[in-house]
Structure 1
């Protein structure tokens, strides 16, 4: 791969894909985004790693199919995460909330009380996120786990800023309520809305 591609912006690479069907540009975008997208899909698809990996492959096929829809004046990452968000919506529509849930085998280890409490808290947090309605889960994951700004989330989910704030408020309140029994001091500032 030429070092030229490493120096180009995401948007410049996507323009090359659009105009010249550039395989090196596509591979550079894949290199930059496949891990981020895999993490997002794993969180959105209830930790189904196999399905998430399939979605990563599929999203790059969709990127090629929909390349003519990309607006070079906009941010590439918002555009690709909008596609990812729509893929998750479609999966939920077709499979309901029963998007496959693979349970991962956890090694049994001797944990201190604080480690055990933290692990229980994190497991409860994951369950709370998994149980959110899709539109609430989507904004929560994009904000707190993928660290997008509220404006970026509005663009990705094709919603108004007010809708994003409302969904985020609801999701945060619901999760906070479910996690009250744990209330560990290390998580007191977990969900800042700003």
Structure 2
């Protein structure tokens, strides 16, 4: 049996290949690499601290393990596992309505939407944060998810296309529409 240190310099795709070939202990490395990322993604996707989060993550990794043989080694691993996470989170939302969207850090989400000099004081910034939060809450899930994947998870258009199973052009269109809708809703709230 190989030690974990033997896996540390291997790509996710190489580790997935080892798992496909029967080295099941290598899957633990993928779990270690993706647990925090998928937890962050799930929290932002669900927008609440849910008691179901551990169960959701467990289901994501179980499905990834069960379907690892279907992973195409010519592709990147991260969009593949995020697609599994996407499906699992959509299923969770369908089972658990209503949808809740908490606050977030504007500087992380949209650093270019408003310049720092647009704020007179801390209270104005808090009001803006609240208004943008309301705007995001009003977005359809297909637009909200594009925002999450692009701004929070920092995926490229091609990776988002792979995760959502939509053409790259649709990714660009949805992102543009989402930003336009957020600005429109935000300015109506002002």
Separation in 2, partners of 1:34, 1:47: 17
* Structure-2 residue corresponding to 1:132: 139
Structure 2 unaligned residues grouped into runs of 5+: 104-119
* Structure-2 residue corresponding to 1:54: 55
* Structure-2 residue corresponding to 1:2: 4
Closer, same or farther in 2 for the Cα pair 1:52/1:115, shift >3 Å? farther
State the secondary structure of the residue aligned to 1:6.
coil
Separation in 2, partners of 1:84, 1:46: 15
Separation in 1, partners of 2:76, 2:22: 20
Q: TM-score, normalised by structure 2?
A: 0.79
Q: Shift of residue 175 of structure 1?
A: 1.0
Structure 1 unaligned residues grouped into runs of 5+: 105-112, 184-194
Separation in 2, partners of 1:31, 1:126: 31
* Structure-2 residue corresponding to 1:68: 69
State the secondary structure of the residue aligned to 1:41.
helix
* Structure-2 residue corresponding to 1:11: 13
Q: TM-score, normalised by structure 1?
A: 0.78
* Structure-2 residue corresponding to 1:192: none
Q: Would you say how many aligned residue pairs link Structure 1 and Structure 2? A: 173
Separation in 2, partners of 1:58, 1:129: 27
Conserved 8 A contact 1:128-1:178: yes
In the alignment, is residue 146 of structure 1 matched against residue 147 of structure 2?
A: no
* Structure-2 residue corresponding to 1:85: 86
Q: Shift of residue 182 of structure 1?
A: 7.9
* Structure-2 residue corresponding to 1:177: 184
- Cα RMSD (Å): 2.5
Separation in 1, partners of 2:12, 2:31: 10
Separation in 2, partners of 1:56, 1:117: 37
